[in-house]
Structure 1
Amino acid sequence: MNDTGLRERAEAWRQSDPDPATAEELARLLAQGDMAELADRFSGDLEFGTAGLRGVLGAGPNRMNRAVVRRTSAGLARYLKEHVPDATTRGVVVGRDARRLSAELAEDTATVLAAEGIPAHVFPLPVPTPLTAYACLHLGAAAAIMVTASHNPPEYNGYKVYWGNGAQIIPPHDTGIAAAIATVEPANRVPLLTVAQAREKGLWRDIPDALGEDYLLAILGLRVYKRGSDTLSIVYTAMHGVGGVWAERALREAGFPRFTPVAEQHMPDGRFPTVRFPNPEEPGAMDLSRATAERVKADLVLANDPDADRLAVMAREAGGGLRMLTGNEVGVLLGHYLLTQSTQRARPHVVTTIVSSTQLGDIARSLGAAYDEVLTGFKWIANRALERERTEGTQFVFGYEEALGYTAGTVTRDKDGVGAALVMADLAAWCESRGTTVLGYLEEIQRRHGLYVGAQRNVTLPGSAGAQAIRGIMDAFRARPPSHIGGEAVRAVLDYQRGVQGLPPSNVLALELEGGGRVTLRPSGTEPKIKYYFERKETPAQGEPLARARERAETRLVAFIDAFIALARERGQPT
């Protein structure tokens, strides 16, 4: 698109923008003649996919804003009316977090749905993402929408869509909704009601507080040990998000009186003033949690991300220090605990993803449980669980992905950081009753099933040039897969874009080594990154201190990572 065409498109968008703030933003860019910025905003539309929408707030079709959300909501509403005949009876749940513009985007969503004749079941206040997913099932809604950017920086927002089964959308609904959005008129012509009009017509329905109480009771029922602990000390952070009130109530009602919130981060604040990147995995994000835990001598630290659908865990080591557990370690702990200590009515079923540790699969097979690996994203975990329940009568017990996403049982069909925090505290109390700790229990599992170590490396490559570089890296590894990595032979190349193990095609590539190592390459679906996932397995010798085996395993893992990164640079990754 030349500069003239770019200006014409930007001006047309400005004139149809219903939000004066973003219309003024575009007018300023046009007046300044900032063609590079305009090109970035108008080079394409913010893509609607299986994660819905997520992007930086700002003006233009390649940003998150009220114009984009109004058109998206109209397209979704029309798709629902075509494919879900009773959508106008069942309605759609609308939830939101506490980020900048979340309240306005949620209101726009609800009033557009109402104008389409679809009742909007609206949470009056910010809520955790898992509560929106729960409400979809509990209210029998045709779909649910959560306005959130999860753990992204403060300049982001997003729009997550659930189908009527309570799980995030998967094909063909994602592409069908995207096609419907593409036919929607300009944003200023999208019909919408005022809130008062929608209420008068019975098309805006506030979700009562009782639904939140039902959710709390449901997750309290996920516990296995169910006795709490008067002595276990727990520090918790909401990371400036919406989980604080819910996690505190759940843990206190579960019998954990020694609960200490990280005061600076306990209440919602979309500016995230104490962290640049409100993701517990990011360097520095857990510093205040660690400091609080050391001050009160906590045994366990639990952290939710801002929309409370993820959980991070730190636990006290035998030597007295606090250690951050990896997402895979938490997944293995919770999975093993629920498989071995809870009572199942049918064959238990656990699910993880192709970029998570293979250890849960080894554990499941040893216990006779059903097991699946699916593509990255909790939508695949939830839908696979539903499929096997329907076709085989299995009982879904647990699912996780290494990026700190976990769910126990079927209270929600999405990851649930509040429910997972409750089950982790229950596990810790059970360990205490046995005279051990969370890390002591992890060692028991590793001695029995092997010591798996892993790591992730992310390379951020923003903008259109970054997207091109990421495509180039993936294409280069497909065209010239290495025969060896660090002197170890590559046993298999799994190209998930061609479909592997019956999974839908996906832009993921895995290289498996003869010695049992694995590296998986995947562009992020929500951020301008390419992600590399590494794993090695070590078998501790009889009587060998686990710390020694871990040191050996991690040394080998570092060498493996270094060798692979060198290959990635040869194939176009910037240094």
Structure 2
Amino acid sequence: MNSDLVRRARDWQAQDPDPETRAELGALLEGGDGAALRERFGAKLEFGTAGLRGELGAGPNRMNRVTVMRAAAGLARVLGPGRHVVIGYDARYNSDVFARDTAAVLTGAGLRASVLPGPLPTPVLAFAVRHLVADAGVMVTASHNPPRDNGYKVYWGDGSQIVPPVDREISDAIDAVGDVSRLPLGSPDDDTWTTLGKEIVASYVDAVTALPIGDARDLKVAYTPLHGVGAVTLTGAFLAAGFEAPVIVDAQAAPDPGFPTVAFPNPEEPGAMDLALELGGRIGADIVLANDPDADRCAVGVPLPDGGHRMLTGDELGALLGEHVIRNTSGDERLVATTIVSSSLLGKIAAGYGVRHAETLTGFKWIMRAAGGDLVFGYEEALGYSVGTDTGLPVHDKDGIGAALTVAGLAARAKRDGRTLLDLLDDQARRYGLHATSQLSVRVDDLSLIAGAMAGLRATPPAELGGRKVESADDLREGAGGLPPTDGLRYRLSGGARVVVRPSGTEPKLKCYLEVVVPVTGEVSEARTRAAADLDALRADLSAALGL
């Protein structure tokens, strides 16, 4: 084996406080497994606007206690002594350990740390940062990633995720951290390290139950937290708001980091909603709700008249919630925001009500910084929503529990009127045209394939996709439309269609976002059939152009 690789592995092992990962490295060194060592030490997890996220294991290219302690030390150097950081964690493997390590490093560096009282949803942490007037927050979670992953998200004092240049400053400070075994560490016995009580959760529930839910409460809900941490907080919020408690999928109710009933703990993935939809049919639920494991996303299923269910897309739910918020708030400066990969429908709804609208880069860190007014609603197509009131947003990040409460109120009102959420979607299609969206997502083992596909599109841009002329093409690396530069391509097609292609920021995927707009001149069902065919044609041509 390479001697430098062996030296780095032994240096890492010597400072590692975790006996499990020390043993992992010992076995690899003893077995002479150079390939496994190169995988762990040939690269490192890069700290960016999404923080850190990766597979658990030993070495700088894995999530482990050394990686987390280095991240905490870097954050401490950027913030400086005396600053206050709130720390939350979910129920994934080692999340509680990583949270305690973070508190120990921060307090050892002279900062104050407040740790949430147990495994809790990410939106509770985002809320707590502002509620406690902290300087920053850390959430240990990998959201809906596979079971062997974990992650580390950093929030700034405004309660939203960090953006440049703060991410680079923290990354540079992390790189300057030496042997973590030499870091001074605080303890729970220090006055600077506090474990918060349940009052912080109660304050969060008070905030989300003040959202524009409406006054209708007759609704039967089936719900799954997908083995995550959402069930207790969501149930408490529903009861506090006056709803009946949702009926929870028993096999998925308790937090379980192994996620034993799903291939991927993501409500968008095939099969993930099967148990919830089955429960919804069995109990005659009016809607089926799901959170992802850290409960910052919300998915909704609606029963069909002839049996079965239809899952709403993120864009469909975003349009329903957006119009609902606009109708139930007031103020000339109101602003609603979404991302460049989400549907264009929200902009048309906002224009119809005389409300301001903004488009941002992908991610709630950008939505929360949308300029041009007082933000009362933001969403992204990946099932992320932040619902606000006249006075603003209680959570400056996506909030799957606040969204679930609000959509429950919307569905209850529709039920009182003898209608469903599907009827409300048809109403929007008639008013604004049917905006149908879909995705083409390609997962790869070799990230160079994604870079090659993007380079190919830039070198030979398509002139036509799905039978529609490409009317304009924007290379988002150049900061098109005043947006910050990002790796992506946007094509505007004839007839109001649109395609955006970008590498995922958190997974080894190339993601393509497709939208067509079909006028409704007869039955909405006819427009949906035409839109589905148009999306299929777009998907086929784009797949061929990518060459993956």
Which category of TM-score, normalised to the shorter sequence, fits these structures? over 0.9
Report the counterpart of residue 432 of structure 2 in structure 1. Answer: 449
Correspondences of 1:520-539 after superposition (within 5 Å):
520-539=500-519
Q: Are residues 1:370 and 2:356 paired?
A: yes
Cα distance in structure 1, aligned partners of 2:164 and 2:329: 34
Cα distance in structure 1, aligned partners of 2:489 and 2:66: 36
Q: Which moved more, 1:265-274 or 1:314-323?
A: 314-323
- Secondary structure at the aligned position of 1:276 is classed as coil
Report the counterpart of residue 223 of structure 1 in structure 2. Answer: 212
Contact 1:248 / 1:259 at 8 angstroms: preserved in 2? Answer: yes
Report the counterpart of residue 263 of structure 1 in structure 2. Answer: 250
Q: Are residues 1:71 and 2:70 paired?
A: yes
Cα distance in structure 1, aligned partners of 2:193 and 2:414: 47
Report the counterpart of residue 170 of structure 1 in structure 2. Answer: 163
Report the counterpart of residue 93 of structure 1 in structure 2. Answer: 86
Q: Are residues 1:145 and 2:138 paired?
A: yes
1:379 to 365, 374, 384: 365
Contact 1:495 / 1:509 at 8 angstroms: preserved in 2? Answer: yes
Report the counterpart of residue 523 of structure 2 in structure 1. Answer: 545
Deviation at 1:258, TM superposition (A): 6.1
- CA deviations on 1:340-391 (whole Å, 9 max, x unpaired) are 2x1323422100001111111111122111111100110001122xx54xxx
Report the counterpart of residue 375 of structure 2 in structure 1. Answer: 396
Correspondences of 1:15-94 after superposition (within 5 Å):
15-81=14-80, 88=82, 90-94=83-87
Report the counterpart of residue 84 of structure 1 in structure 2. Answer: none
Cα distance in structure 1, aligned partners of 2:420 and 2:515: 25
- CA deviations on 1:498-534 (whole Å, 9 max, x unpaired) are 1011111000111221232221111111111111111
1:428 to 385, 388, 411: 411
Q: Are residues 1:214 and 2:197 paired?
A: no
Q: Which moved more, 1:252-261 or 1:360-369?
A: 252-261
Report the counterpart of residue 338 of structure 2 in structure 1. Answer: 352
> Which letter maps to 2:280?
A
Instruction: State the TM-score, normalized to the length of structure 1.
Output: 0.93
- CA deviations on 1:409-430 (whole Å, 9 max, x unpaired) are 1101000000000000011111
Deviation at 1:207, TM superposition (A): 1.2
Structure 1 runs of 4+ aligned residues shifted over 4 Å read none
Q: Are residues 1:405 and 2:384 paired?
A: yes
Q: Which moved more, 1:142-151 or 1:36-45?
A: 36-45
Report the counterpart of residue 489 of structure 2 in structure 1. Answer: 509
- Secondary structure at the aligned position of 1:383 is classed as coil
Indicate the percent of aligned positions where both proteins have the same amino acid.
Answer: 48
Q: Are residues 1:490 and 2:470 paired?
A: yes
Cα distance in structure 1, aligned partners of 2:116 and 2:230: 15
Q: Which moved more, 1:307-316 or 1:475-484?
A: 475-484
Report the counterpart of residue 391 of structure 1 in structure 2. Answer: none
Cα distance in structure 1, aligned partners of 2:96 and 2:381: 30
Cα distance in structure 2, aligned partners of 1:113 and 1:468: 37
Cα distance in structure 1, aligned partners of 2:485 and 2:194: 39
Deviation at 1:297, TM superposition (A): 1.0
> Which letter maps to 2:426?
E
- Secondary structure at the aligned position of 1:132 is classed as helix
1:155 to 148, 161, 172: 148
Contact 1:344 / 1:395 at 8 angstroms: preserved in 2? Answer: no
Contact 1:223 / 1:422 at 8 angstroms: preserved in 2? Answer: no
Instruction: State the TM-score, normalized to the length of structure 2.
Output: 0.97
Report the counterpart of residue 541 of structure 2 in structure 1. Answer: 563
Deviation at 1:105, TM superposition (A): 0.3
Cα distance in structure 1, aligned partners of 2:380 and 2:292: 15
Deviation at 1:36, TM superposition (A): 2.0
- CA deviations on 1:14-35 (whole Å, 9 max, x unpaired) are 2222212111111111222222
Cα distance in structure 2, aligned partners of 1:357 and 1:108: 41
> Which letter maps to 1:269?
D
- CA deviations on 1:441-495 (whole Å, 9 max, x unpaired) are 1110111011111111221112xxx111111111111121111223322111111
Deviation at 1:535, TM superposition (A): 0.9
Report the counterpart of residue 323 of structure 2 in structure 1. Answer: 336
1:188 to 158, 181, 184: 181
Contact 2:267 / 2:299 at 8 angstroms: preserved in 1? Answer: yes
Cα distance in structure 2, aligned partners of 1:560 and 1:343: 37
> Which letter maps to 2:177?
V
- Secondary structure at the aligned position of 1:515 is classed as helix
Report the counterpart of residue 107 of structure 1 in structure 2. Answer: 100
CA RMSD between the two structures: 1.3
- Secondary structure at the aligned position of 2:87 is classed as strand
Cα distance in structure 2, aligned partners of 1:117 and 1:38: 35
> Which letter maps to 1:37?
A
Contact 1:42 / 1:62 at 8 angstroms: preserved in 2? Answer: yes
> Which letter maps to 1:470?
I
- Secondary structure at the aligned position of 1:205 is classed as strand
Q: Which moved more, 1:22-31 or 1:440-449?
A: 22-31
Cα distance in structure 1, aligned partners of 2:401 and 2:461: 41
Contact 1:227 / 1:255 at 8 angstroms: preserved in 2? Answer: no
- Secondary structure at the aligned position of 1:106 is classed as helix
Cα distance in structure 1, aligned partners of 2:154 and 2:12: 25
Q: How many pairs are equivalent?
A: 544
